[in-house]
Amino acid sequence: MPTDTGNATYLDAVGLALDSEMDRDPDVFIIGEDVGQFGGAFKVTKGFLDKFGPRRVVDTPIAETGFTGLAAGAALVGLRPVVEFQFADFISCAFDPIVNVLARHHWRTGDPMPVTMRAPFGGRLRAGPTHSQSVESYFAHVPGLKIVMPGTPQDAAGLLISSIRDDNPTLYLENKYLYRRLKADGPISLDPIPLGVAKVVRQGRDITLVTYSAGVHQGLEIAEELDKDGISVEVVDVRTLVPLDVETIVKSVRKTSRAVVLHEAAKRLGYGAEIAATIQEECFWHLDQPVVRIAAKNTPTPTSPPLEDAVIPQPAEIAETLRKVARA
């Protein structure tokens, strides 16, 4: 079982939140491939089967459509399922129950649908085109789903707790590159963090970087470097894509008058397009420069390390873009 040593990793934080919610609420259960005996593809649920038993930690066949549909049925009789997809790439197998059942049912009947879907996503692990995808935009277009993408261990815990307690179906996307690379700088709080509330993680005056997930850590490191050149970058972590905290983004951009949006997903119709459009609509008369997007190239993620690095945004590209927009 996960323990909080005072410097919990992002992965530990997810496990701590799950453990806490299963202790608190007997209606919460975990379902997915290898979540029990194997402890999950990344060992997030290691030890959960021994502690909570097979009725609350349910191993399934390789059948994403089936166990996602089962979770929908369980939610309708009052339970709070937490569905684990081994990789976000595999969630497309469950597109029908997510889009046509989970996202629609409440709006047809008024019944709550408290299903949390956890899915590790993203690249940088040299895992190739079928284990590196960023899937948020597929689902952000679908009314009825909430989408959460934490970028720090503390947010990973607090936002997962809020997702589980929420009566809406929630897609909770974990960046697996961060699992063992980010550590908390103190004990993890197990208080819920409200969904739909962005966070200004670095104050700045010259330009706003709007980002989420792995982009937060990346953006903070680059902002420190640019500060040496006299460029002050404000970094906004949106944390929840749906609902989007427009007010915090607008307040920041109206202050700096320049905005860059960063994410790991492909640029074409990526979520950055939604954020950029929102900024244009809400801040047009405050902007000194057009909003610029930094995103992955419009191609499947390669397995080859140099090719993957050429596809996914790298620090040099991000720094150069921020520098160019800030000084334009």
The confidence score (pLDDT) of residue 276 equals: 98
Name the CATH superfamily for 10-175. Thiamin diphosphate (ThDP)-binding fold, Pyr/PP domains (3.40.50.970)
Contact by Cβ (8 Å): 91, 99: no
pLDDT tens, residue order, the chain (328 aa): 888 989 999 999 999 999 999 999 999 999 999 999 999 999 999 999 999 999 999 999 999 999 999 999 999 999 999 999 999 999 999 999 999 999 999 999 999 999 999 999 999 999 999 999 999 999 999 999 999 999 999 999 999 999 999 999 999 999 999 999 999 999 999 999 999 999 999 999 999 999 999 999 999 999 999 999 999 999 999 999 999 999 999 999 999 999 999 999 999 999 999 999 999 999 999 999 999 999 999 999 999 999 999 999 999 999 999 999 999 8
Write down the CATH number for the domain with range 199-327. Answer: 3.40.50.920
> Is there a shared CATH topology between the 10-175 domain and the 199-327 domain?
yes
Q: Report, as residue numbers or ranges, the catalytic residues.
A: 131
The confidence score (pLDDT) of residue 1 equals: 85
- Distance CA(208)–CA(261), nearest Å, equals 8
- Distance CA(254)–CA(246), nearest Å, equals 12
- Distance CA(101)–CA(121), nearest Å, equals 23
Strands 170-175 and 116-121, bridge-based pairing: parallel
Q: Among residues 180, 179, 186, which one has the least CA distance to residue 154?
A: 186
Show the beta-strand stretches assigned E in 4-128. 28-32, 57-59, 80-84, 116-121
pLDDT in tens, 47-89: 999 999 999 999 999 999 999 999 999 999 999 999 999 999 9
Kindly report whether the global pTM for this prediction surpasses the value 0.85: yes
Domain ranges of the chain: 10-175, 199-327
pLDDT in tens, 253-275: 999 999 999 999 999 999 999 99
- Distance CA(88)–CA(118), nearest Å, equals 8
The confidence score (pLDDT) of residue 173 equals: 98
- Distance CA(70)–CA(81), nearest Å, equals 9
What percent of the chain lies above the pLDDT cut of 90?
A: 98
The confidence score (pLDDT) of residue 3 equals: 84
Report the side by side order of strands in the sheet with 259-266: 199-202, 233-237, 207-211, 259-266, 292-296
As to burial, measured by CB atoms within 10 angstroms (0-12 exposed, 13-18 middle, 19+ buried), residue 191 is exposed
Contact by Cβ (8 Å): 203, 323: no
Q: Element (H or E) spanning 235, and its range?
A: strand 233-237
